[in-house]
Amino acid sequence: MLRSNICMWAKLGTTIVGIAAIVAACERPASVAPAPELVQLQVPANFPAPLPQPAHNPATAQGILLGKKLFFDPALSVNGNVSCATCHQPQKAFSDGQALSSAGVSGKALKRHAPALMNLAWMDGLFWDGGAKNLESLSFAPLRHPDEMGQDIAKLVARLQQHPTYPSLFKAAFGTDSITAAALSRALAQYQRTLVSASSRYDKHIRNEPHKTLTQTELQGLHIFKKNCSSCHATDLFTDNRYHNNGLDNSFPEGDEDLYFGYGRISRRTEDIGKYKTPTLRNIALTAPYMHDGRFKTLEEVLQHYSSGVKWSASLAPELQQHAKPGIPLTATEQQKLIAFLHTLTDEAFVKTNYSSP
Amino acid sequence: MTRFYKITLYIVAAAYSLLLSGCSSESDEPLMTDVEISITNEVNGQPLVLLDKTYTNPSGDTYVVHDLKYFMSNVKLINSRGEATYIEPDSYHLIDEQIGKRAFTLKNVKADTYTKLEFGLGVDAARNHSTDQYGDLDPSSTMVWDWDTGYKFLSLVGTYVANTKEGGLVFHIGGDTNYKTITVDLQQPLKIQSSSGNRIQIVTDLNGLFLEPNPIDFDEINTAMTGPAAAKIAENYSTGFFKQVTAN
């Protein structure tokens, strides 16, 4: 009995040792490069949960560092003059101050306004029309567009492969110095997810942090905002990440690859024609001009639009049809208070932290 | 003590023998081999020639092809008992007439008698929603949409002359609903008996894109991406594009 027990244990032991031996023998030799250090996204207390991070691109210290270097490097463009930061300038909360930029390699004006970049880890559907499904896929658009960075992606990858430092930075981030388009875009995505803006005066107020009270006018502005604007500029992200027609136009011409259909060209539904993504209002004082085509130069112009300039069309947001005429009636005083509140969303720390290139 | 020694010896010997056999194929294991898949894109029985030949579609419109590319993915071999006993892992192949890439190799196919080939035309939803991919899905190709994330499943670009119109022919077919799983019978079974010379030869007919069940008249449809026109061509490629599949 004892003997058979021992035999059973011995067989089990043999099996375990055998399996371990097979596993050990079949595994590739361990890489000598140190593993990249995983970085956890810090979620501000007043923010909703971020989107699940893509399992195939976990953020690492090395990946973020590489992404930052790439973001600020004009060598990514075909003529070596245009970086991501050309149109997404940190001091303007990663916007460019232009309605329709002509800073790209061709010098031709773009057809949409460069969006400000922040809190992207919470945003699905990127671009004004939501056409880019995720950050990992997004970067190829500006890199390749003839009026933006104008690159042939394969040539860009080959150029980076010949660079004195990039191969080792890719190796540190992704375990191999053989650069791929996918790794390039993943690094840029990792860096962009670190652009979290949550340290404005409003944030300190809402989180009850000491010595950071809002003025009476700003608080009144916040009240007006909650009542009139927060259904679309929702949560402390100040966007619902959805698509609405806010009455800028009442005709949406065909042609130009259906560009003027807005979200309708992505969803391919008639009822979405003329809708655009709700932009965040964070750092809004730094990101003029406004709207998907940058048509309004100031916040005053924006509020005048909502107050008295909204044009009716079939897809106009129901939220803008709650009164006798389309729009949100606001008195001049209410508009001033609202603008005072919007200035409390400016995050100086965000701008300063990200100001300089690596 | 003696017993312990014996057991230890037994363990070491067994582990050693397992170690030796664990990673390499032994003679008593089934034969595993490569199967080469090669494709000939044809129009009306003649191999496709880019730029220099004018073809006539089933509606009687003429056209010239500048480029043809498409993805074949999730390739499976189905044996005579109807079982998909070979499923290619990470299976995405770009067929590209412009650079003459018309073949790929299935690795580690078990010896068996295979009677059907199954594959998808396009890129499945699992990979179609993010373009940061490797291999044939590398986004540096022209088969990627940047403005509306996803892959073109089939790209046929050229020029046409129809009854009332002429101009550029641009069929960029994509969108999840246009990913089609296609199963074709091998004209004679692929019997894998040795480790070389196992091939499957696929012949397509470009005019099959324009015939059934949806005849395509270039007067009406000469560009398509994801809308109703694309859906029509996708239905056609699920039935009438892959004409003949033979094995040897």
Q: What is the pLDDT of residue A34?
A: 79
Residue B3 predicted with pLDDT over 90: no
From CA B239, how far away is CA B248, in angstroms rounded? 24
Q: What is the pLDDT of residue B225?
A: 87
Q: Taking residues B218-237, what's their average pLDDT? A: 94
AA letter at B6: K
Are A132 and B146 an interchain contact pair (Cβ–Cβ within 8 Å)? yes
Domain that holds residue B81: 27-247
Domains within chain A, CATH numbers bracketed: 61-196 (1.10.760.10), 201-352 (1.10.760.10)
Q: What is the pLDDT of residue A220?
A: 98
Pairing assessment for the beta strands B150-161 and B223-224 based on DSSP bridges: unpaired
CB pairs under 8 A between A and B: 99
Q: What is the pLDDT of residue A2?
A: 40
CB-neighbour burial class of residue A314 (10 A; exposed 0-12, middle 13-18, buried 19+):
exposed
Q: How confident is the model at residue A285 (pLDDT cuts 50, 70, 90)?
A: very high
Residue A197 predicted with pLDDT over 70: yes
Query: What residues of chain B lie within 8 A of the CB of A56, using their CB?
Result: 130, 132
Q: How confident is the model at residue B28 (pLDDT cuts 50, 70, 90)?
A: low
B5 assigned to some structural domain:
no
Query: What residues of chain B lie within 8 A of the CB of A145, using their CB?
Result: 146
Residue B215 predicted with pLDDT over 70: yes
> Which of A164-173, A255-264, A286-295, B44-53 has the weakest average pLDDT?
A255-264
Q: Taking residues A139-166, what's their average pLDDT? A: 98
The label of the residue with tokens 């986004």 reads B139
B75 assigned to some structural domain:
yes
From CA B73, how far away is CA A300, in angstroms rounded? 54
Residue A32 predicted with pLDDT over 80: no
Q: What is the pLDDT of residue B29?
A: 72
Q: Which residue of A has its CA nearest to B227?
A: A268
Q: Which of A3, A6, A131 sits opposite B149 (nearest CB)?
A: A131
Are A25 and B14 an interchain contact pair (Cβ–Cβ within 8 Å)? no
Q: What is the pLDDT of residue A357?
A: 55
Residue A212 predicted with pLDDT over 50: yes
If interface means Cβ-Cβ distance under 8 Å, which residues of chain A face chain B? 3, 6-7, 10, 13-14, 17-19, 21-22, 25-26, 54, 56-57, 127, 131-134, 136-138, 140-141, 144-145, 152-154, 157, 180-182, 185-186, 189, 257, 265-266, 268
Q: Which of A308, A344, A349 minimizes the C-alpha distance to A329? A: A308
Share of chain B above pLDDT 70, in %: 89
Q: How confident is the model at residue A245 (pLDDT cuts 50, 70, 90)?
A: very high
Rg of chain B, C-alpha, whole Å:
23
Interface test with B, best of A27, A137, A152, A174 (most B CBs within 10 A): A137
Interface test with B, best of A14, A188, A260, A263 (most B CBs within 10 A): A14
Query: What residues of chain B lie within 8 A of the CB of A154, using their CB?
Result: 140
Mean pLDDT for chain B overall: 90
Residues B129 and A134 sit within 8 Å (Cβ to Cβ): yes
Q: Which residue of B has its CA nearest to A6?
A: B7
Are B149 and A180 an interchain contact pair (Cβ–Cβ within 8 Å)? no
Distance from CA of B179 to the nearest CA of A (A): 18
Residue A22 predicted with pLDDT over 50: no
- Residue A153 falls in which region: left (phi positive, over 0), alpha (psi -120 to 50) or beta: alpha
Q: Residue B152: what are its φ and ψ, rounded to 5°?
A: -75, 125
B1 assigned to some structural domain:
no
B14 assigned to some structural domain:
no
- What's the total number of domains in chain B? 1
B65 assigned to some structural domain:
yes
Q: What is the pLDDT of residue B5?
A: 53
Are B227 and A131 an interchain contact pair (Cβ–Cβ within 8 Å)? no
Token digits for B94? 């770009």
Q: Which residue of B has its CA nearest to A11?
A: B11
Are B18 and A18 an interchain contact pair (Cβ–Cβ within 8 Å)? yes
> Which of A168-182, A313-327, B23-37, B160-174 has the weakest average pLDDT?
B23-37
* Digit-coded pLDDT (tens) for A83-100: 999 999 999 999 999 999
Q: Taking residues A166-175, what's their average pLDDT? A: 98
Q: Taking residues B48-56, what's their average pLDDT? A: 97
B3 assigned to some structural domain:
no
Q: What is the pLDDT of residue B248?
A: 77
